[in-house]
Amino acid sequence: MKKLEAFQRGDGAHWGLSDWYEDGEAELTAALADHAPFDTGWYSSKKEIASAQIYSDDGTTITVEVSVSDDFDTEGLGYARTTDWTIEGVCKCVSAAWDKAEQARDKAQEYEGFSVILHHRDGASWVETYLVNIGWGENLHPPGDNYHWWGWQHNGDEETGGKPHPAIPADTVQAFERWANDWAFARVQDGEKTLRIGDWEIKPWRDNIPAQEDPNDYAGMGWIGRDGQP
């Protein structure tokens, strides 16, 4: 099997996983033209928390594996296969594998993140972040190195947690906390994407409301759901 050496020198792609550097794309194009077994090895993206491997064991089918993560060290792995031995075909296969990896990561995440936005005459600006723990275990702190406590992230420490930004009205803070926790545990209407109170708005980081757990799945097992209910 031919190893594609250009992919072993640092990052293999610019912004994504299929906008390869010039020497890597040239080597991959030549390997596709040969229609013989090859392997890029694992290569990373310069701008994304993602990596990929493109290979063919038999010279007939090309396999793409993609690994993704996020600021909370939530990993996701996806793969796809194609028999289209063109650059365009491989690009589509990379996209398909990447989509599956992100879906796997979303299912594995132990948090829901929310941005608090202030709307004003000149537009809108981010003011605050709110995090909800949806993990199965007793997660005392959010995973990863970027956040150190659950809830509001404006100011706090690992022992006492965070406090909301002082510019947000107290009643709005309470309403946002209730709504964010309801959204995280699928207790809001499916079409309810955000909550706006006056000039303030809270928006979840993910586009779709999480799937609601079915208690019947755990009947008789004594299991407790991530919201603390059987």
Residue 73, pLDDT above cutoff 80? yes
Mean pLDDT of 79-106: 97
Q: Give the CATH number for residue 71.
A: 3.30.160
**Do residue 66 and residue 116 come from a single domain?**
no
DSSP, residue by residue, 81-114: EE---SHHHHHHHHHHHHHHHHHHHHHH--EEEE
Domain count, the chain: 2
What predicted TM-score, i.e. pTM, was given to this entire model?
0.78
> Do both 102 and 123 map to the same domain?
no
pLDDT tens-digit readout, 105-116: 999 999 999 999
The number of helices, as runs of H, and strands, as runs of E, in the chain is 3, 13
| Parent domain of 24 | 2-108
- 85 and 132 fall within a common domain: no
Q: Does residue 138 register a pLDDT over 80?
A: no
Please report whether residue 208 resides in a domain.
yes
Summarised one tens digit per residue, pLDDT across range 176-197 is: 999 999 999 999 987 889 999 9
Residue 9 has pLDDT above 50, yes or no: yes
> Nearest 5°: phi and psi at 126?
-70, 140
Q: Average pLDDT of 195-221? A: 75
Residue 134's pLDDT band (cuts 50, 70, 90): very high
Residues 62 and 93 in one domain: yes
Counting Cα atoms < 13 Å in the Cβ hemisphere of 67 gives: 10
- Identify the residue with better confidence: 124 or 216: 124
Domain boundary pick from 76, 108, 140: 108
